[in-house]
Chains A and B, each alone.
Chain A
Amino acid sequence: AQTVTQSQPEMSVQEAETVTLSCTYDTSESDYYLFWYKQPPSRQMILVIRQEAYKQQNATENRFSVNFQKAAKSFSLKISDSQLGDAAMYFCAYRSRSGNTPLVFGKGTRLSVIA
């Protein structure tokens, strides 16, 4: 079974600075998707970014980018120019490319942004 590990329960960053959240995963599959979800205090789960395992290019969405290292099974999220609204729980998630599989989530990293 696939597992997702987020080794940093809590992180903090100064406003306008850059922070990187770590995620590693374990799978025997070669084709899959990886995601970062954000959960602010409202508890809504918001999709931040998606990476397809067969693509070597790292995904980018505005201030959010990933560093995908397939051989190392690592998928980190970089947040640039951090804003107060970035404060939230961030979950890394894995999904097999085959259709009938759910998302497998890590335990999450709580990010605080300091003004």
Chain B
Amino acid sequence: DSGVTQTPKHLITATGQRVTLRCSPRSGDLSVYWYQQSLDQGLQFLIQYYNGEERAKGNILERFSAQQFPDLHSELNLSSLELGDSALYFCASSVDPSVHEQYFGPGTRLTVT
């Protein structure tokens, strides 16, 4: 158990819908990262937050957004869902961006039908 929690574990929804994925980092970690793992694209970085502020952006679609709250948990919002958004979404955390180990949560499996 990495100490990073993600809810829900599984999510099944229809195209065009909107979902929110939630992540709680390890105790004491200020930095949160979101990754998407799909069969065709592999593991790709989406976005990073540090202490409530966005720090880096990767291949995140405009239909996707995220935020980190004062209690340091983070949410990833996915809207206007398409079949291709079906993937495993991971959250990872680290103490701060200068620490190079990132600890991953168990992931949320999103299926868009």
Contact = CB atoms under 8 A, between A and B. Distances in A.
Interface stretch (A20-28, A62-70, A75-83, A95-103): A95-103
B106 A44 contact: yes
Nearest to B94: A99
Interface residues of A, number: 23
B101 A47 contact: yes
Interface residues of B, number: 25
Interface string A32-57: 01010100001111110010000000
Interface stretch (B21-29, B42-50, B63-71, B76-84): B42-50
A105 B43 contact: yes
B33 A102 contact: yes
A102 B56 contact: yes
Q: Is the interface of A mostly helix, strand, loop or mixed?
A: loop
Contacts of A44: 2, 104, 106-107
B91 to A, nearest CB: 10
Interface in B6-52: 33, 35, 42-45, 48
Nearest to A107: B42
B102 interface: yes
A40 B5 CA distance: 18
Contacts of A91: 43
A99 B33 contact: no
A45 B101 CA distance: 12
B49 to A, nearest CB: 11
B85 interface: no
Contact of B96 (A50, A99, A106): A99
**A33, A45, A106 pick with most chain B CB within 10 angstroms:** A45
B97 A103 contact: no
B104 A45 contact: yes
B42 A100 contact: no
Nearest to B102: A103
Contacts of A33: 100
Nearest to A45: B104
Contact of A43 (B58, B88, B96, B102): B88
Interface of A: 33, 35, 37, 42-47, 50, 91, 95, 97, 99-108
